[in-house]
Structure 1
Amino acid sequence: MNNTKIPNNKPLLSVKNLKKLFVTKKNFWGRPAEYAYSLNGISFDIEPGETLGLVGESGCGKTTAGRTIMGIYKPTEGEVYLKGEKLDLTNGPEKRIQMIFQDPYACLNPRMTVGEIIAEPLEINHVYDNDKAKQKRVYELLELVGLSREQANRFPHEFSGGQRQRIGIARALAVNPDIIICDEPISALDVSIQAQVVNLMRRLQKELGLTYLFIAHDLAMVKYISDRVAVMYMGAIMELADADSLYSNPMHPYTKSLLAAIPVPDPDVQQDISLIKGEVGTYNGEGCPFAPRCEQATDKCRSEKPVMKEIHGHRVACHTY
């Protein structure tokens, strides 16, 4: 992995006003009749060697963001730049961006051996001219993630969940990507295994100079692994700041409500989760997405979409500031 600085001081990855529209209903003739924005104009940068955490409740668009950035989904609007180069995401996934998927049981082909699974991206991208060099690379990757080369001929069902996720990490590393998108990589694992996988990812980042976009809803784990954290709600980024600063001094009402809802392991502590009310609804693009559930919302919040402002090192989309 190459962790050199990007020319002209540009970020490694830059996402600008990215939108993704899905058809939610078709008419009698099979034509789109209703749409919904899963992403509603998100923008952020990621520097080389950095981990940006992307958090938010289920359905807020985190996974859609990751899949659109790497080209699994075609963006409806907006641009993604890698090392200052605008990516053409209309032709499928970008090989310089790889993903570690959420479910280690579903993302591995049960009919392929582990060696074949890890070698597949090498074959698709024609990385090696001969089988011997390819096999050597597969063995290196297995040992890099804490498995042995003797396990290359086994099938996924012969491994535990934590081992399968290690295989997924090895596959993501195979083509030496510039950035790895981690789509809730530990949420399907036992708690005792989660720490092992996260520590492995941190070690690999240090040794190989990896850059991560870490998508999760576990706020404690995101703080542990991330340099900066972006908070999403209904397809929009509400706040973005350094991890320590965001957790110690949240500014957006939604960020405050998320942090207030983190369980405290003390039955005598009374938690105040009154900052958030109601249920997640729909968003038509007008006003602040969080306005219907925010006790601080004003008429301006309901009619005018807030823009991101730089306030004390935080980027916040809120009319309060």
Structure 2
Amino acid sequence: MEIYKPIVLQSISLLCLLVFLLFSKLKRSTSLKAISLLLILLCVLAIFINRDYGANIDLPLYMDFYKYNVVFADIFISKTAWKGDFLFFALMPLSHLMGFSKEDYITFQLVLSIGLTFLAYFYFFKDTRAMMFLALFFMLNSSSFYLIQGNVIRQGLSSSLLLLSLCVLPGIRTNLFKIMAFFSHKGSVFSFLTGFLNFKTNIRAVILIIGVLAGYFSIFVHLLKLFPLPQFVITKLEFYSTFERASSNSIIKLGLLVLFNILFLFLRNRKGNYEKAYTLFFSFSLAALLLFRFDGMFSRLILYTDIFVPILTVGVIQRFSSKKNRAIATVICVVLSLAYSVYVFNHESILFNIGKYFSV
């Protein structure tokens, strides 16, 4: 593997780690932390908007859709209406209203979704601002972040809204964010399962085992086929069950998903919003496990589980009561994240999602 190392990407993630170490010592510096977060956000935005938007798959497609959604009525009647992602496509006529070009629209979309993600982190870690930068360090070392914000931007917007749902009181406002996420990308529909999967730890462990077996051995697929499904649904099932775009590394993804589920199931932080994050992670994990043989769906659902991993990892670290154990857990997680980032920042997908602008 040729090491080209996008130095800018690695430097920003290391900057988050440095800021975390700094603010771990400076307890009373709220304004300075906010300014630091803003500067890191601007650095991240510079990566995503200073590149060729036509270099990957999804962005050129949305720039093409841009000409069909000029006024707000178009999102319900144009060639994109069948997707049902009305909130996402409503940003197109809004961009037309502001006189944006198709490239400006993409920039607007990226600034919005990435900005909302950082805003969610800011509110989620309102009581532990220093840990916010550690979570950002983990997030910026993840390949999923660059995929959902650099390519599959419908899912990027949906993910940012799901993260914001963690920061409000349970009830109407949480569901409102989930509804907004659903109308940005339909894959977020599994976020509504959280109310039905609120079981004790041992029951959840059994459910996960059943999910792994049902998905891996295609039991869930066969059960679906027992129902009188419309022909177009049957066709889709047959297509996705033989879909091989990501099959080369699906077993690795499955193994990591099971590993994270075991970790968070037994070591998760059950305080405050961490439990809300875990229930969303668990819901998307179960859906991904059951749909393992539908590789196209499985790969997308894995991205939804990934957005909660940085936050839940910080929750596990904070769960340790003694400073010594927290320090050991932090060092272990940082080392593992750094090792993973070497793989991420040297993978061809970074060039695909971000572009060659930052390669060295």
What is the TM-score normalised by the length of structure 1? Answer: 0.28
Q: Which has the higher contact order (CA 8 A, sep 6+)?
A: 2
What is the TM-score normalised by the length of structure 2? Answer: 0.26
Q: Which has the higher helix share?
A: 2
Q: Which has the higher strand share?
A: 1
